[in-house]
Amino acid sequence: MTTTRRKLVAGNWKMNGLTASMAELVEMCDANPTNCDVIVCPPFPLLGRFVGSAGNSHIEIGAQDCHTAESGAHTGDVSAALIKDVGATAVIVGHSERRTDHGEQSGLIKAKAEAALANGLTAIVCIGETEAERDAGNAEALVTAQMRASLPAGATAANTVVAYEPVWAIGTGRTPTTEQIASMHAALRTALKADLGEEGHGIRILYGGSVKPGNAAEIFAIPDVDGGLIGGASLKATDFLGIVSAA
Ligand code: PGA
């Protein structure tokens, strides 16, 4: 068990940003952080432009969802093949907003992650419990099962990232305690290692949900927290760069 995991900070812009928001990306790329891996995931229409703008910087560009199929009659959907073709390197799948807004379940998310891998993209697979599930006291078993059902076949440390995001912490300003995060990440790591051995040791587990410049260093210092998936605070270069520098 010798693999060291390099930290990753990924920004999820969700349905935010217009062409004018390119200025924020340009500022991030000018800063060109190299202390950790950085991925910015804009809405689809900006994907190709963000790739162009990121140019030779260390910042990589990702998408927020993909379809399971290579191409075909799926109006409004985007294939992993096209995401790869425009120069993005990663795709988020299974975000709780996709699970809630579009009824996506873990089986579909696993298939999307497999489409990502088949096209040479890194799959960032999101999991997390609702507040009711946390209150019911079985969050760790539930989220571990969700992870096992959502991870792609062929997951390795190089092609797959797990993002633990408690639904009740997303966009709310509330975060779990250090102990709750540590305990969940340890449970997920144990499951990954049991299922995937050395690769399970190397797969990065991000924490997401109300990460800000002010709490990032504390969260990133928790054992088995290998970086963050950042929503609101990824939209402004100064906030996002503050989080990145904490990694
Ligand atoms: P937040 O979102 O940082 O705005 O809480 C995180 C996410 O949904 O990925």
Q: Where are the domains of the chain?
A: 8-246
Residue 3 pLDDT grade (very low, low, confident, very high; cuts 50, 70, 90) = low
Please report the atom of ligand 1 found closest to the CA of residue 209.
Answer: 5
| pLDDT exceeds 80 at position 156 | yes
Q: Of all atoms in ligand 1, which is nearest to the CA of residue 163?
A: 9
Measured at the CA of 84, the angle between CA 15 and CA 74, to 5 degrees, comes to 65
Whole-model pTM: value is: 0.98
Of all residues in the chain, the percent with pLDDT exceeding 70 is 99
Q: Region 88-93: what's the mean pLDDT?
A: 98
Query: Which residues is 12 bridged to in the sheet?
Result: 41
Ligand 1: which of 64, 129, 170, 240 to mutate, judged by most atoms within 8 Å of the beta carbon? 170
Q: Which of 24, 60, 104, 165 is catalytic?
A: 165
Query: Would you say residue 2 has pLDDT above 60?
Result: no
Q: Write down the mean pLDDT value for the chain.
A: 97
pLDDT at 4: 86
What are the φ/ψ torsions at residue 180 (nearest 5 degrees)?
-65, -40
Does domain 8-246 sit in CATH 1.10.620.20? no
What DSSP state is assigned to residue 238?
A: H
For the chain, what percent of residues have pLDDT higher than 90? Answer: 98
Q: From its phi and psi, is residue 120 left (phi > 0), alpha (psi between -120 and 50) or beta?
A: left
The pLDDT tens digits of the residues spanning 183-207 come to 999 999 999 999 999 999 999 999 9
The label of the residue with tokens 């049991």 reads: 194
Q: Tell me the pLDDT tens digit for each residue of 100-138.
A: 999 999 999 999 999 999 999 999 999 999 999 999 999
Cα separations in angstroms, 77 against 13, 52, 71, 83: 18, 22, 9, 11
